[in-house]
Structure 1
Amino acid sequence: MLVTFETKAHANITMFGEVAVTLIKLMGHSGTVPGALLAADVPAALERLRRAVSEHPDAPLDPKTGVGAADDGEERHVSLANRALPLIALLSDAAAAGENVMWSSP
């Protein structure tokens, strides 16, 4: 499953479903897809996500699709901080513009 985040203030972002649901939960939402944040709720969700990332920036956040397995047999992980970066940018732009944020599975 893929999840696409949308707002009028930023280009759409598509993520692996498991990664997206984790980030949605870190924003303080239930993790349901589809879902949305009203413009008034975006700054608080952004702050919760930033706080979670600052507390555990190096925590691995990989989908369970085999992505991250290297050819040399060594596992490589993408950190929470890196996975959250595009969503933080989207939420920041939405908060600055006073726009709603929606997400769904195409």
Structure 2
Amino acid sequence: MLITFKTPVHADITLFGDVAKALIRMMGHSGAVPGALLAEDIPAALERLKTAVEANPEAPLDPEPGKHDEDARAQSVSLKHRALPLIDLLETAAREHKNVIWDT
């Protein structure tokens, strides 16, 4: 499953479902899909996500084993790199006072 994050002021961001749910939980949400953040809630969610990333930036955040091809699983991608596009989207939405939604 893929999850896409959308806001009117940024290009859509699509992530593997399990990776996206982990990032959503780091923002302080349940990980439910679909979901949304109101513009006024984005700064706090962004801060929680940044704090989680800064606490352990090199931790691997990879798709669940067995869900994707062998080559993808052989390479680990850090939490810092996985979160970067979503952080950029949230920063842009916060700056422009726009809501963010996510769905499959």
The normalised TM-score by structure 1 is 0.91
Quote the offset at 1:86 in angstroms. Answer: 0.1
Alignment of 1:27 onto 2:27: yes
The structure having more radius of gyration, on CA atoms, is 1
Identity of aligned residues (%): 61
Instruction: Give the AA of the match of 1:103.
Output: W
Alignment of 1:49 onto 2:54: no
Residue 102 of structure 1 is matched in structure 2 by 101
Structure 2: state its 5+ residue gaps: none
Q: Over the residues paired in the alignment, what is the CA RMSD in angstroms?
A: 0.7
Residue 85 of structure 2 is matched in structure 1 by 86
| 3-state secondary structure, aligned to 2:101 | strand
CA distance in 2, matches of 1:13, 1:5: 5
Moved beyond 4 Å, runs of 4+: none
Higher helix share: 2
CA distance in 2, matches of 1:17, 1:63: 8
Residue 68 of structure 1 is matched in structure 2 by 73
Structure 1: state its 5+ residue gaps: 70-75
